[in-house]
Amino acid sequence: MSFTLRPDTTPTTQAVVSQTDVGPTHVSLAWSSTEDGPNIWFTVFMNGNPISQGSKRTSATFVPLEPETTYTFTVQARDFGGNLSPISDPVTVTTEPSNPNDVTPLPPPTNLGESHWGDGEIHVSWTQSTDDLDEQRFIQYDVSVNGVLSDTTVGSGFSIVYSPGTGGLVTVSVIAVDTASHASAPASITIDMDQP
């Protein structure tokens, strides 16, 4: 005995999006949609460009953004059958100005360490900086390889960067930046890519 499942042709409902928090460099959103099955994936757009795709999350904080800047967010849902919902109504958010009382630069990250691989991949880790006003989850880290910016991460103590060559000495630097754009002194480590 065999049977054929009817294809899923009914899209999820249009997502409903709301702002839950805003700061100088971040916007937090929540969204929801309903579907006749258990699986819904979401794509979040900022100013028309996708910034999060294929995730089942129904909330997120988006960083790093620019202070006193207006951003427009929309969300589209997709079900297991590949049906796309209508795009949500736009939510327009203006980030806050930087805190005028924030005048103290961050201390540099500490305990900078690394592990590297034969293909030039470098895993960099550090202890995150602590600011007098900003929460750690909003502190940005600019990671450079031989003086060239290679990665930017926010609220994290880990990054993956790549050596520009196949061997030799490589210097990796990490700079912490707070929401008022104050940069720390760099924390640096020199790596011999020819050594395991």
Q: What is the pLDDT of residues 83-96, one digit of tens each?
A: 999 999 999 999 99
Domains of the chain: 16-94 (2.60.40.10), 110-192 (2.60.40.10)
- What integer is the mean pLDDT of 117-125? 90
Coil, helix or strand at residue 196: coil
Tokens of 13: 């409902």
* pLDDT tier at 5, thresholds 50, 70, 90: very low
Cα separation, 91 vs 19, in Å, equals 7
Determine what percent of the chain is predicted with pLDDT higher than 70.
Answer: 95
The 3-state secondary structure of 171-185 reads EEEEEEECCCCCECC
Sheet holding 40-46, edge to edge: 49-55, 40-46, 70-79, 91-94
Query: pLDDT, tens digit, for every residue of 127-157?
Result: 999 998 999 999 999 999 999 999 999 999 9
- Report whether 139 contacts 91 (CB < 8 A): no
Cα separation, 22 vs 37, in Å, equals 33
Find all residues with CB under 8 Å of 189, minimum gap 6, and list them. Answer: 112, 113, 114, 124, 171, 172
Coil, helix or strand at residue 17: strand
- Report whether 42 contacts 33 (CB < 8 A): yes
Tokens of 136: 């750690």
Dihedral sign of CA atoms 182, 185, 187, 188 in order:
positive
Cα–Cα distance list, 141 to 123, 128, 149, 152, 160 (Å):
14, 9, 11, 6, 12
Q: Which of 133, 159, 142, 178 is nearest to 25 (CA)?
A: 178
Determine what percent of the chain is predicted with pLDDT higher than 90.
Answer: 78
Dihedral sign of CA atoms 124, 129, 133, 135 in order:
positive
